[in-house]
Amino acid sequence: MYVYGNIEDERKVLMCQEYCVYISFTYRLVKFTFRYHKVQKKKRKMCVSYEKDNKRQKKGIVQDYYEILGVSRDASAADIKKAYRKLARTLHPDVAGADKAEEFKAVNEAYDVLGDEEKRRMYDMGGRSAFQSGGSPFGGGFEDVADIFSTFFGGGSSRGPASRARKGQDVLVSLELTLNEVVTGCEKEIPLSVMVQCDACHGTCTKEGSSPVTCTNCHGTGSMQRVTNSILGQLVSTVPCSQCSGVGTVITDPCVECSGKGRVRAARNVMLKVPAGVEHNMRIRLEGQGDCGVEGGANGDLFAEVHVLRDPVFQRSGDDLTCELTIPMTAAALGAKLTVDTFDGEQTIDISAGTASGDVITLEGLGVGHLNAQGRGDLRVSIHVETPQKLDAKQRELIEELARLRGEELPVAQLARHRETLFEKLRGKFNR
């Protein structure tokens, strides 16, 4: 509550308030007028694009939404919905297979436009180009200048009811693999518990013979107008209908099998082709193998997170495999040919005479397969020479005789000199 000193001060304050209201209204009027002309200019471009679409349709390049659903241009909303449901049941990937996935998407796209009165009107006027740039900033555009005033003081435009179609959720599973399976790749059967389309209602969420009814709260528009009072008068905003959640229809007779959800949980198995070279904690994606979509929505994806089990013999280093081979002292001194078991079967390793502990023998092409590429890594075998721990009298006599022959009865110990690495040499130069 304001308290004024005299009538003159009160008159000045009121004049100031009226002037502010006038300035605010003028600014908004100019702003909406500018947008109105922008929308009209865009509509003229849409008409030109529509003529181009018609030419392309005659050549068979662009398929008309009405042709996709198999209805005429003057078909009623009920006929369009009936045609859509018939095609959706026939072309759904769970029924017709993955080969019909593109046709199923085209049917959903056509119904998303023709099933909405406002979108259908825009499509009839501008073709597919009416939706390529996201549509009008006012959800359909102003028909005349009177719509600008109705947006301020009541009325306003509506975007139409929302679609019930929702994409299914993605599913994440854990996939355990042995190192042998990672080396060359494999196929694994994965058991899943996912949402699939209800067989009783075929995803319509209603009992057989029934269909959703128009919402009595919003009369099928999917939105309600909320009026608030302000200094500028009554301001109107559009909000989704609370009774139908913005879809314009209400399911009064839901399917008993799925409780009106259009989906049920079921167990099924999926074959997964694991490529060679996958690593621990990598995720493999299978598109469309997750939860079923709602009311014709796209299926979610399946993600398999790889967990590679530890191998008791071989270790992985990038795309190479490493292992350790223990050989007796005599084989290291005299040389030998040994047979070892690998992931590719038995392989022969040639041990040269004089082989010492720490020497590495490389078997090319026996490592891990390169991920998404040709070829494989190598198998690197590290040699460990085993020194005999217990000798009998005869063995000891023979080794002592060998020492005498080599002049090693009194061996001379010599400390190995440290060899500087390249990094240590550079660091020494900079520290001088």
Nearest CA to 268 out of 192, 204, 177, 201 is that of 192
Does residue 263 sit in the same domain as residue 398?
A: no
**pLDDT higher for 89 or 12?**
89
- Return the pLDDT at 147: 45
Q: Answer yes or no: is pLDDT of 4 > 50.
A: no
Taking a C-beta distance cutoff of 8 angstroms, is the pair 300, 172 a contact?
no
In which residue are the tokens 């406002």 written?
118
Tell me: do 184 and 268 sit in the same domain.
yes
Look at residue 289 in the predicted model and tell me its pLDDT: 92
Per the model's pLDDT, the better-predicted residue between 360 and 65 turns out to be 360
Q: Measured over all CA atoms, what is the biggest interatomic distance in the chain, rounded to whole angstroms?
A: 131
The pLDDT of residue 129 is 57
Whether residues 202 and 304 fall in one domain: yes
Range of 421's domain? 315-430
Specify whether 281 is located in the same domain as 203: yes
pLDDT range class, residue 145, cuts 50, 70, 90: very low
Pair 269, 327 in one domain: no
pLDDT at 36: 73
Structure-model confidence comparison of residues 321 and 107, the more confident one: 321
| Cβ–Cβ under 8 Å, residues 290 and 173 | no
Q: Are residues 362 and 286 in the same domain?
A: no
pLDDT reading at 184 higher than 80: yes
* In a domain? residue 124: no
Q: Is 407 helix (H, G, I), strand (E, B) or coil?
A: coil
Same-domain status, 268 and 393:
no
Asked if 108 and 165 touch (Cβ cutoff 8 Å), the reply is yes
How do residues 257-271 score in pLDDT, each as one tens digit? 888 888 999 999 999
Predicted confidence at residue 17, as pLDDT, reads 62
Q: Are residues 287 and 379 in the same domain?
A: no
Q: What does the pLDDT read at residue 391?
A: 87
Interval 309-347: pLDDT, tens: 999 999 999 999 999 999 999 899 999 999 999 999 999
Band of pLDDT at residue 131, cut at 50, 70 and 90: low
Say if residue 302 is in the same domain as residue 391.
no
Mean pLDDT (the chain, rounded):
80
Count, residues in the chain: 432
- How many domains does the chain contain in total? 2
Count of H-run helices and E-run strands, the chain: 11, 15
Query: Does 302 share its domain with 319?
Result: no
Instruction: Convert the pLDDT of each residue in 191-201 to its tens digit.
Output: 999 999 998 88
This prediction has a pTM of: 0.55
Instruction: In whole angstroms, give the CA distance from residue 120 to residue 114.
Output: 5
Q: Is residue 191 part of a domain?
A: yes
Residue 309: how many CB atoms within 10 A of its CB? 12
CATH number at residue 333: 2.60.260.20
